[in-house]
Amino acid sequence: MPVSTNCIFCKLIRGEIPSIKVHEDAQTLTFMDVRPASPGHTLVITKAHTPNLLEIAETDLLAVTLAVQRTAQAIQKALAPDGIRVNQFNGAAAGQTVFHYHVHLIPTQEGQRIGAHGRDQADTQQLEALAAQIRAALES
């Protein structure tokens, strides 16, 4: 499985940087965004270092897509948002800031205006509580 020594997401996968995990399997890692656009903002990444959608292997893309669907269902069950924004960016001009394939799941409420990325660091305890709710919904 390709990895990068300098990629922040590869460092998360290796445990060199802490993350608030929601789910992990052989091909994917799902964790809370530390700068959430809204409460419950979650990221799903491939464990294989792949820069973007244009280069990801089919098997990794399928694994991420299935994890995205399962996580979105769990977010819906746990947090009951009015909607869930699913974002994926390819290239700096499109807004990609981490060049490792990933998908954002952003719970939204009716009338809420949110960006694709949050600006402020979230409270760790709040992220842990949200992750626990989503994990419980994944397991039920």
User: Annotated catalytic residue: which of 23, 41, 49, 102?
Assistant: 102
Q: For the chain, what is the mean pLDDT?
A: 94
Rg (CA), the chain: 14
- pLDDT at position 5 is 86
**Burial tier of 113 (Cβ tally within 10 Å: 0-12, 13-18, 19+):** exposed
pTM score, whole prediction: 0.94
pLDDT at 84: 97
Regions of the chain short of the pLDDT cut 50: none
- pLDDT (0 to 100) of residue 105: 97
Tell me which CATH code domain 8-139 carries: 3.30.428.10
- State residue 57's pLDDT score: 97
Residue boundaries of the structural domains of the chain: 8-139
Question: Known catalytic residue: 102?
Answer: yes
pLDDT of amino acid 116: 66
CA–CA separation, 9 vs 5, rounded Å?
10
